[in-house]
Chains A and B, each alone.
Chain A
Amino acid sequence: MTLSPRPRTLRAAALITGLGLALSACSGGGDGGDSTLTAPGPEVLEGLDEAVQVEFWHSMDATNGQVLDGLIEDFNAQNEGRIEVTGSFQGDYDTALANHRAAIQQGDTAELIMIFDLGTQFMIDSGQTVPAQSFVDADGYDTGSIEGALLNYFTVDGELRSFPFNNSTPLMYINRDAFEEAGLDPDSPPTDLAEIREAAEELTVRDDDGTVVQYGFGAATYGWFVEQFMARAGVPYCDNANGRSGRATEVLFDDPKVVETVEWWEEMIDDELAVQIGRNTDDAQAAFTSGRAAMTLESTGSLGGFIERSDFEVGAGYFPLVGEGDPGGSIIGGASLWINGEGHSEQEVRASWEFVQYLLTPESQSIWHAGTGYLSVNTEGYDGPEAQERAEEFPQFSVAAAQLADSEINENTAGCMMGVMSEARATAEEGWETALTSDTPAADAMSDAADRLDTPIEEYNASVEE
């Protein structure tokens, strides 16, 4: 139950860490103190006796992990004797954040960490990292080719806080074969909820007994989609301009646009045009690739898997609008990279930044995008040989970039910045699910869920303002 070590162990650990820091400060020869909260220049890496060690905590496993390891190896080879990066898989995003919390308690954080979008406000409030903006300013780093929607999300109070890296945006996927069989045009997939319903009526196939064998639609009740629907509709997810003009004090996912979406979802299930999935996105993926559901909603990152696993032609379209004429913004998801300054020397901070710069080059992003399906954070990455090859083979890969390029950049598409965002997403899912699985009307379910977050938000804000 208890995670924190005994006070004595803690004292001993602090002592050892302190000694270690003192020693490293001596051997480093420079004036690297215990913490570096502004960006050091490139000169700190001159005249090193041995390579600076950078531990990189991330949440990439399987294919994505291998692509990342390849990039790390390549970087280490280029920087032999200067910088050595060691990747360390920390489990999924939530676990990685929990591990990072424990590391903060013990004063032993990694040099570089990957933290998901929902942890952004926490990362700012915990005050352990060097703001990304300070590297950009110190080096005159050009962010011009970095995807605007990503900079928009990770910029808070006019400062870029972290470096976007593995990011995605949700799309609508269609079974092109099913579209053709139903006499629909797979090249113009539905663009809003009403059109999805119309298409689903054609796509739903029943056997002789009237049991549905193919549903028109089926997607997970995934809280990220609520955020996306709201960005598409151009409404903020939380108050104070999505938490960007001041701390958010309440969530607004009981907005009529969300209620409309949930009601639509409910009717789709009641009329047997959509299969009820639940919260697990794996189940939604399985329903789509097995041909049970002809349309689904998923991240861009799933495209490769969809193409691999399904025996029909997979098409991709923009994430649906709630209603015709919505402004159609798009929000991003995924994680960004944070460089820890608290408890780290200038050398370590600078070395981490050099590695991040390497990851953001068009060359690295081309490999990353083609290998994983994540967006190319650097838009020039799409012109790289690996990305080009991939785009020729699967033109669907260009849809995500186009959807982001078409999105207006404003506070509504920046996403909500809030300390308890992870809990908010889960609570939105709960409200949505309550509407689908009980007699509670969608409006009540969503506003009850939104109200439940008042206390956590208040408590969080109080604890960081003290």
Chain B
Amino acid sequence: MTTTKTATAPPSPGTRSPRRTQGGEAALAWAFLTPSIVVFALFLAYPLGRTVYLSMHGNDIIGRPNRFVGLSHFAEMASPEFVKVLTTTLLFTIGTVVPGVVGALAIVLLLEGVIRGQRFLRGAFALPFAFSVASASVIFVVFYSPGNSVLNGVLYRLGLDQVPWLTSQDMALWSVCITTVWMNLGYGVLVLAAGIGSIPKEINEAARIDGATGVRLARDVTVPMLGPQLFFLIVISTINALQSFGQIHILTRGGPSGSTTTLVYSIFEDAFAYSTSDFGRASAQALVLLLVVLVCTAVQFGVIERKVHYA
């Protein structure tokens, strides 16, 4: 979550004390830092080290590491199955981040035109954020349920073709994406609405005096001014997408035929799903996931953040 601060709060220069740090102060600083270092070591460094350890070991049937296997769990990943998992993860990430961010932006921009009831509508659009993953997914189970789908019922009354929401390999991933976008939209609306409220009125007024209205105003003034919030949203949504689990587990359990098995779901399957307790393979994949998240975030900071304008 450190990304939050970097992305939203502009660095404030000149706050460093000119006084030279004395020995006593340094000791005091360390004393204050100790609790957080301990917590960090206990809940971050130790599990990470343990994951690395487990990833290089095989398990006995109880799940205890019992033999060193070196990097063979990583070597096994050079398989078409794992490539499919990565592709699914990529498609899922794109399929949730892009519509999620664009959708939230569209809603917020459109709501700018609404004078009466804007607060109410913003609240209403932000509401899905209050749903837990489990309850949101259960609602969509009813919508998608094969044979009794609410959505298909609506399509049927409209005289349209039925959609195999969760039972087709081509459709299932997008159905899970729709659920995820619906869940995340509220958060996006909240963040962007807060951002749009903080754009100084003078800028808008100046643009209007220059004759900018509607699309032009949105494209050239509002969106660039929302840069920090949009960037924050993209980074957070990407990490969220890469870590999504609940909706996949409840809606499809990774199926049909592995078409919705993302990296996180694959880790779950190896470690817990079929009482296999293959913590070695799962840990190796977890490290790959860590790497993917790191690379994505680094790329986003390297590429997108350069274009972000901090007011």
* Inter-subunit contact A286/B255 (CB<8 Å): no
Shortest distance between the CB of A404 and any CB in chain B (Å): 26
* Inter-subunit contact A279/B255 (CB<8 Å): yes
Contact with B along A338-371 (1 / 0, CB 8 A): 0000000000000000000000000000000000
Known contacts A1-B51, A283-B146, A422-B276; is A437 also within 8 Å of B61 by CB? no
A447 at interface (Cβ–Cβ under 8 A)? no
Interface size class of B (residues with CB under 8 A): 35 or more
Shortest distance between the CB of A446 and any CB in chain B (Å): 12
Interface positions, chain A 141-173, Cβ under 8 Å from B, are: none
Shortest distance between the CB of B173 and any CB in chain A (Å): 12
B169 at interface (Cβ–Cβ under 8 A)? yes
B50 at interface (Cβ–Cβ under 8 A)? yes
Chain B positions within 8 Å of A75 at CB level:
none
Chain B positions within 8 Å of A456 at CB level:
276
B283 at interface (Cβ–Cβ under 8 A)? yes
* Inter-subunit contact A209/B159 (CB<8 Å): yes
CA distance A283 to B141 in the complex (A): 9
Chain A positions within 8 Å of B166 at CB level:
278
Known contacts A276-B164, A283-B146, A438-B169; is A122 also within 8 Å of B275 by CB? yes
The 9 closest A-B CB pairs, nearest first, are A287-B147, A423-B274, A422-B274, A434-B257, A2-B50, A433-B257, A433-B256, A292-B147, A437-B169
CA distance A456 to B156 in the complex (A): 45
Chain A positions within 8 Å of B169 at CB level:
437-438
Known contacts A104-B62, A125-B61, A292-B148; is A1 also within 8 Å of B286 by CB? yes
B66 at interface (Cβ–Cβ under 8 A)? yes
Shortest distance between the CB of A406 and any CB in chain B (Å): 31
A3 at interface (Cβ–Cβ under 8 A)? yes
B297 at interface (Cβ–Cβ under 8 A)? no
Which of A1, A97, A290, A460 lies in contact with B147, CB distance below 8 A? A290
Interface positions, chain B 147-184, Cβ under 8 Å from A, are: 147-148, 156, 159, 162, 164, 166-169
A105 at interface (Cβ–Cβ under 8 A)? yes
Chain B positions within 8 Å of A2 at CB level:
47, 50-51, 54, 279, 283
* Inter-subunit contact B276/A430 (CB<8 Å): no
CA distance A234 to B66 in the complex (A): 39
B300 at interface (Cβ–Cβ under 8 A)? no
Shortest distance between the CB of A296 and any CB in chain B (Å): 10
* Inter-subunit contact B275/A290 (CB<8 Å): no
* Inter-subunit contact A94/B274 (CB<8 Å): yes
Chain A positions within 8 Å of B282 at CB level:
1
User: 24 A-B pairs, CB-CB below 8 angstroms?
Assistant: A1-B283, A2-B50, A3-B63, A4-B63, A94-B273, A94-B274, A98-B277, A101-B62, A102-B63, A105-B63, A118-B275, A277-B167, A278-B146, A284-B147, A290-B148, A422-B276, A423-B274, A426-B273, A433-B257, A434-B257, A437-B168, A437-B257, A456-B276, A459-B58
B59 at interface (Cβ–Cβ under 8 A)? yes
B307 at interface (Cβ–Cβ under 8 A)? no
Chain A positions within 8 Å of B146 at CB level:
275-278, 283, 287
Chain A positions within 8 Å of B204 at CB level:
none
Q: Which residue of B lies closest to A464 (CB)?
A: B61
B243 at interface (Cβ–Cβ under 8 A)? no
Contact with B along A397-418 (1 / 0, CB 8 A): 0000000000000000000000
Shortest distance between the CB of A103 and any CB in chain B (Å): 10
Chain A positions within 8 Å of B271 at CB level:
1
Known contacts A105-B62, A464-B61; is A6 also within 8 Å of B46 by CB? yes
Chain B positions within 8 Å of A426 at CB level:
273-274
B8 at interface (Cβ–Cβ under 8 A)? no
B64 at interface (Cβ–Cβ under 8 A)? yes
Shortest distance between the CB of B219 and any CB in chain A (Å): 42
Shortest distance between the CB of A442 and any CB in chain B (Å): 13
Q: Which residue of A lies closest to B165 (CB)?
A: A278
Chain B positions within 8 Å of A277 at CB level:
146-147, 167
Known contacts A2-B51, A275-B146, A283-B145; is A463 also within 8 Å of B276 by CB? no
CA distance A243 to B211 in the complex (A): 81
Chain A positions within 8 Å of B47 at CB level:
1-2
Chain B positions within 8 Å of A463 at CB level:
58-61, 66
Chain A positions within 8 Å of B159 at CB level:
209
B30 at interface (Cβ–Cβ under 8 A)? no
A273 at interface (Cβ–Cβ under 8 A)? no
Interface positions, chain A 417-466, Cβ under 8 Å from B, are: 419-420, 422-423, 425-426, 429-430, 433-434, 436-438, 456, 459-460, 463-464
A126 at interface (Cβ–Cβ under 8 A)? yes
Shortest distance between the CB of A286 and any CB in chain B (Å): 5
CA distance A434 to B256 in the complex (A): 7
B40 at interface (Cβ–Cβ under 8 A)? no
A275-B146, A278-B256 known; 6 new pairs, CB 8 Å cut-off, are A1-B51, A279-B256, A419-B61, A426-B274, A463-B58, A463-B66
CA distance A279 to B146 in the complex (A): 10
* Inter-subunit contact B277/A437 (CB<8 Å): no
CA distance A4 to B275 in the complex (A): 16
Q: Considering residues B59, B156, B167, B252, which has the most beta carbons from chain A within 10 angstroms of its beta carbon?
A: B167
Q: Considering residues A122, A275, A278, which has the most beta carbons from chain B within 10 angstroms of its beta carbon?
A: A278
Shortest distance between the CB of A23 and any CB in chain B (Å): 26
A218 at interface (Cβ–Cβ under 8 A)? yes
B99 at interface (Cβ–Cβ under 8 A)? no
A119 at interface (Cβ–Cβ under 8 A)? yes
Chain B positions within 8 Å of A1 at CB level:
47, 50-51, 54, 271, 282-283, 286
Shortest distance between the CB of A207 and any CB in chain B (Å): 9
B84 at interface (Cβ–Cβ under 8 A)? no
B258 at interface (Cβ–Cβ under 8 A)? yes
B68 at interface (Cβ–Cβ under 8 A)? no
Known contacts A126-B62, A419-B61, A434-B257; is A283 also within 8 Å of B148 by CB? yes
Shortest distance between the CB of A426 and any CB in chain B (Å): 5
CA distance A263 to B274 in the complex (A): 26
Chain A positions within 8 Å of B54 at CB level:
1-2
Chain B positions within 8 Å of A464 at CB level:
61
Q: Considering residues B146, B147, B169, B272, which has the most beta carbons from chain A within 10 angstroms of its beta carbon?
A: B147
Contact with A along B71-103 (1 / 0, CB 8 A): 000000000000000000000000000000000
B122 at interface (Cβ–Cβ under 8 A)? no
A293 at interface (Cβ–Cβ under 8 A)? yes
* Inter-subunit contact A105/B64 (CB<8 Å): yes
* Inter-subunit contact B147/A420 (CB<8 Å): no
CA distance A166 to B50 in the complex (A): 39
